[in-house]
Structure 1
Amino acid sequence: MNTRLSVNVNAVAVLRNRRDLPWPSVTGLSRIALEAGAKGITVHPRPDERHIRRRDVWDLADMIRKDFPGKELCLEGFPDNRFLTLCEEVKPDQTLFVPDDPSQQTSDHGWDFEASDALLRSSIDVIKRSGIKMSLFVDPDPEQPAKAAAFGADRIEIYTGPYGACHSDPALAATRLAEVSATAKAAREAGLDVNAGHDLTPDNLPALMKEVPFIREVSIGHGFIADALIYGFAESVRRFQRAMGEI
């Protein structure tokens, strides 16, 4: 199974929102990524709309359904009532719950399942009733996938930030990669599909894919946009796909 690339376009929206102008276009650049071979688009609409706006979510959903059948939209966010209602209305292909405080710059840790038990059970029930694939964000810890499975998740997304942060320390990177690998294998044993995301690049993806070839999807935002500033959106899709072994 080839791993699929989902491009997170939050950073495109950050740049657009610096001005009261419609460019760079979130949907336009997402279209380029999908035409180049990306299998999906991921967005994280926050309550303050500091990057992705609700309108963007609808525009992306409409574009993908009309022009890219078979490709996916993933909505990630904290499962408050506003986010759950948006998911019910838009019906993305996949929803990822992340334990973010609204003021956080980015997702930087997985769920504390014991502390969030009631919230997750009620929120997952809403998503399941809507027929949406359900994923939970977890730390690279092999004890976490079984807990996610107990809540009824279809997938986990492993937080790969600690691995990506070791770009100048090969020994520590190997340790962090082993943690991701152990977590992925535990998820497979628990019957869950495995996604991964955060600070992945064409440089660190090959080792990850060699160690965990059954990862279903990687969601890449910051590293992708940094690469695209040099190579362009379409070529960056191909660069990441080559690093993943998808092409």
Structure 2
Amino acid sequence: MAAKLSVNLNAVAMLRNRRDLPWPSVTGLGRMALAAGAHGLTVHPRPDQRHIRFSDLPDIRALIDDEFPDSEFNIEGYPSEEFLRLVEENEPEQVTLVPDEPGQATSDHGWDFEAHSDFLRDVARRLKRRGMRVSLFCDPDVDEAALEAAKATGADRIELYTGPYGACHDAAEKADSELEKLAKTAERAQALGFAINAGHDLTVPNLPALARRIPALAEVSIGHALTADALEHGMAETVRRFLAALGRRL
């Protein structure tokens, strides 16, 4: 079964926030994405609310509950107490924990699982008591000892950070090398019982190779490239293009 597609709405929200106006509509474009076949919506509400606002979360939750009940809501973020309260109030199906600093422009590294194992275990236990799936942001090249520490947290999935792979859009040989790192980490993680997600700088051109090399890939979350393509092709057609790149029949 091909990986599922979760559409990250942060770039849509960032464009909206350039003006004190309600457009482009985060929920409106989320609705278009889900209607076109996306399997879920992802947001990363940062402390300064520079793109997704905290007030967007109940609206996205209601959109999924009322119109697309088979779809999933994925909230990403650093597990501060403020973030955890937001998550508990909006009850996403999946929470992706990332080790970002508050002012960080975008996620650019995974957890040091061995250093933060106790902290992540406590957070995962809290979220799983509320019925949420927990995914941990993971560097592309992680050894078995680190993944065993990740497994000890009780998390359900890892999300492979694919930024270095995406950065090789004009260097095919380097892309192959980065893809091999991701695949080996995925194989180690899968052997430990993790399901595998992936995200960051994934595009229509680079998704097919990733999907072939990691056939167990469960989900990708994509925002920047998908939003950029939507400016050219429209949201619905863009979602269909990304689904096709994942190998899903339309």
TM-score (norm 2): 0.97
Q: How far off is 1:58 after superposition?
A: 0.7
What is the CA deviation profile of residues 202-234 of structure 1, one whole-angstrom value per residue up to 9, with x for unaligned ones? 000011111111100000011111111111100
Query: Quick check: 1:72 aligned with 2:67?
Result: no
Q: What corresponds to 1:45 in structure 2? A: 45
- Percent identity (aligned): 56
1:242 equivalent among 227, 241, 244: 244
Q: What corresponds to 1:163 in structure 2? A: 165
Kindly indicate whether the alpha-carbon contact (under 8 Å) linking 2:37 and 2:239 is maintained by their aligned counterparts in 1: yes
| Aligned ranges 1:81-120 → 2 under 5 Å | 81-120=81-120
Q: What corresponds to 1:187 in structure 2? A: 189
Q: What corresponds to 1:196 in structure 2? A: 198
Q: What corresponds to 1:150 in structure 2? A: 152
What is the CA deviation profile of residues 97-140 of structure 1, one whole-angstrom value per residue up to 9, with x for unaligned ones? 00000101110000012332332122112101111000000001
Q: What corresponds to 1:215 in structure 2? A: 217
Q: 1:128 to 1:99 in 2, by over 3 A?
A: same
Find the aligned partners of 1:38 and 1:178 in 2 and give their Cα distance.
27
- 1:201 counterpart letter in structure 2: T
Kindly indicate whether the alpha-carbon contact (under 8 Å) linking 1:30 and 1:41 is maintained by their aligned counterparts in 2: yes
Query: Quick check: 1:59 aligned with 2:59?
Result: yes
Kindly indicate whether the alpha-carbon contact (under 8 Å) linking 1:7 and 1:219 is maintained by their aligned counterparts in 2: yes
Find the aligned partners of 1:30 and 1:145 in 2 and give their Cα distance.
33
Find the aligned partners of 2:25 and 2:206 in 1 and give their Cα distance.
29
Instruction: Provide the secondary structure at the position in 2 that maps to 1:201.
Output: coil
Kindly indicate whether the alpha-carbon contact (under 8 Å) linking 2:117 and 2:152 is maintained by their aligned counterparts in 1: no
Find the aligned partners of 2:192 and 2:210 in 1 and give their Cα distance.
20
Find the aligned partners of 2:126 and 2:160 in 1 and give their Cα distance.
23
Instruction: Provide the secondary structure at the position in 1 that maps to 2:237.
Output: helix
Q: How far off is 1:146 after superposition?
A: 2.6
Find the aligned partners of 1:146 and 1:62 in 2 and give their Cα distance.
37
Kindly indicate whether the alpha-carbon contact (under 8 Å) linking 2:40 and 2:73 is maintained by their aligned counterparts in 1: yes
Kindly indicate whether the alpha-carbon contact (under 8 Å) linking 1:98 and 1:111 is maintained by their aligned counterparts in 2: yes
Instruction: Provide the secondary structure at the position in 1 that maps to 2:215.
Output: coil
Find the aligned partners of 2:58 and 2:138 in 1 and give their Cα distance.
27
Q: How far off is 1:75 after superposition?
A: 0.3
Q: How far off is 1:88 after superposition?
A: 1.2
Structure 1 residues without counterparts, runs of 5 or longer: none
What is the CA deviation profile of residues 128-175 of structure 1, one whole-angstrom value per residue up to 9, with x for unaligned ones? 111100000000124243322111110000000000000111111000
- 1:26 counterpart letter in structure 2: V
Instruction: Provide the secondary structure at the position in 1 that maps to 2:47.
Output: coil
Q: How far off is 1:196 after superposition?
A: 0.3
Q: How far off is 1:25 after superposition?
A: 0.3
Equivalences, count: 247
Instruction: Provide the secondary structure at the position in 1 that maps to 2:76.
Output: strand
Structure 2 residues without counterparts, runs of 5 or longer: none
TM-score (norm 1): 0.98
Q: How far off is 1:89 after superposition?
A: 1.4
What is the root-mean-square deviation of aligned Cα atoms in Å? 0.9
- 1:108 counterpart letter in structure 2: D
Kindly indicate whether the alpha-carbon contact (under 8 Å) linking 2:121 and 2:152 is maintained by their aligned counterparts in 1: no
